[in-house]
Amino acid sequence: MAEEKLPSRSREVSEWIGNPKGDFFAGIVSAFAVIPEVVGFTIVAGVDPVLGLYTSVAFLLLLSFIGGRPAMVSAGAGSMAVLVASLVASHGLEYMFAAVLIAGLIQLALGLLGIGALLRRIPRSIIVGFVDGLAFIILLSQITTFNNNLGSTDTAVAAMVGLIVLGLIVIFVFPKITKVIPSTLVAIAVVTVASVLLVHFTGDSCRTAVISDLGSISAGWPVFGLPSVLTDASALGVILPYAVSLAFVGLLETSLTMQVVDNITQTSSDAKRECCAQGVGNMVCGGMGAMPGCAMIGQAVACVKSGGRGRLSTLVAAIILALLLAFGSGVLGIIPLAALIAVMLYVCYSTFDWDNLRVMVRSRDRNSLCATAMTVITLATVIVTHNLAYGAVSGLLLALVFWLAFGKDRTFEIR
C-alpha cells in the first residue's frame, strides 16, 4: 500500500480530522445508501424493519470509534440475514438475539487470536462462490416475499409487478443522469410516490403491501438486556451452530470488504482491531435486540468513492440514521415492498460475479480448472444447504485437497 507511515496516535487523529468535508458528504451518501438494502434484508431475515436499522446505527457508531478500517460501512448485511432467517422462522426472535450475542463473543475471541490475517489468505475463487451463493439466496428470498405479499385481486398483482419493474428501470437508468444520489434511494422514492398516486386515482384494488404491514417502525431506542434463552441448555444446542456460522460468515465478508476498501484508498486496515470491533458490535446488537451485522461491500465502496476516508464518515451516517429512526419512522412505513424487491433484485444482479463466470467458461489450464471447481463447489453447497458458512468450508476443504495434491506454491486462481 502506498501509505505514509504515521505514529499510532497521529494516525488516529488524522483518521478523524484529516478529511472533514469529504467524510461529511460521504457520510450522508452512506446513510441513504444503507437504508433500502438494510430494510430489504430485514424482510429476508423475517424480522421487523426497525431491527435492521438499530443494527446499522449501532455498528456505524461503534466502529467509527473502535473499528480497524476507517470509512468502511458496517450494518445489517444480507449475508447475516440469510443465516438467521430459518432460526427466526422456527424459534423466534429471542433465539436470534442470543445467537447474535454469542457470535459476537466468538468474533471477539477470534479477533484477539489473529484470525483476520488468516481470512485474507482465503483464495478468491472461494470468495466468488460465497458471494454468488449470497446472490442466489437473496433472489430466492425475494421470490418468497413476492409470493407472500401478492394482493387478493389480479389488479393488485399487476400493480405489484408494475411497481417492481418501475423500480428496476429507475435503478438502472438514474446513474446515467447522476451518481451523486444512490439510484436505489431514488427508486424507492419514485415507487412510493407512484404507489400512493395509484391508490389515490384507482382505489384500494391497486393497493400493494408496504413496510408497515410487516411490523412497526417505532421511534426510540431499545433497552439493553441479555436474552432469556441463554440460560436454557436445550436452546443453546440450537443456537450455537447459528452463532458459529454468523461469526465466520461475518468475519469473512468483513475481510473481503476490507481488502476492497484498502485497494481503493491505497491504505491498510488493522485486521485484528476490525475483527474485534465486529465482535463488539454483534454483542451489543444481541444484547439490545437487533439483527446481526457485518461490513457491507456495496455501501463501503459507495462511501469511499464519495470521498470518505476517515472515521467521521461512518459517524455522520450513524447520526443521520438515528435521526431518521427518531423522527422519520412514519415515512419509512409507507414504502411499498415492491420498491424493496426491486432494490434486492438489483443487489442480486450486482453481487453476482458475471465477469468471473465468463472467465470460468474459457479456463483450460489445471490451475484455473481447480479454481473453477472450488467456486462451483462453494456455490453448489450454498444453494443446497442455504448456509454460506457450509459453502465456504466446503470450498476450503477442496482447496486443501488441491494444495496437497498439486503443490503448495499453487494459488488456484482463475486466469
For residue range 206-258, list pLDDT tens digits in order. 888 887 776 666 656 777 888 889 989 999 999 999 999 999 999 988 988 88
Residues 282 and 327 in one domain: yes
For residue 1, name the pLDDT band (cuts at 50, 70, 90). Answer: very low
Residues 321 and 391 occupy one common structural domain:
no
Q: How many CA atoms lie within 13 A of 233 on its CB side?
A: 0
Per DSSP, 371 falls in state H
Helical packing angle, 93-112 and 271-288, nearest 10°: 160
Q: How confident is the model at residue 125 (pLDDT cuts 50, 70, 90)?
A: confident
Choose one of 304, 333, 362: the last residue of a domain.
333
| Any domain includes 189 | no
In a domain, 197, yes or no: no
CA 389 to chain centre: 15
Is a pLDDT exceeding 70 seen at residue 338?
yes
Spatial contact of 301 and 264, defined as CB atoms under 8 Å apart: yes
Both 328 and 362 in a single domain?
A: no
Share of the chain above pLDDT 90, in %: 39
* Predicted pLDDT of residue 2: 45
Q: What is the 3-state secondary structure (H, E, C) of 274-303?
A: HHHHHHHHHHHHHHHCCCCCEECHHHHHHH
Q: Which domain holds residue 274?
A: 10-149+215-333
The answer to whether residue 173 sits within a structural domain is no
pLDDT at 6 over 70: no
Directed axis angle between helix 337-351 and helix 124-148, to 10°?
A: 160
Domains identified in the chain, total number: 2
DSSP H or E segment with residue 115: helix 115-119
Asked whether residue 360 falls in the same domain as residue 322, the answer is no
Please state, in angstroms and rounded to a whole number, the distance separating the CA atoms of residues 395 and 123. Answer: 9
Q: Within 74-120, where are the H helices? A: 78-91, 93-112, 115-119
The answer on 139 and 45 residing in a single domain is yes
Asked if 118 and 250 sit in the same domain, the reply is yes
* Domain boundary pick from 333, 364, 391: 333
Q: Indicate whether this model's pTM tops 0.75.
A: yes
Tell me: the pLDDT tens digits for 135-189?
A: 888 888 888 888 888 776 788 889 999 999 999 999 999 999 988 777 888 898 9
Q: Determine how many CB atoms are found less than 10 A away from the CB of residue 126.
A: 25
| Pairing of the two strands 74-75 and 294-295 | antiparallel
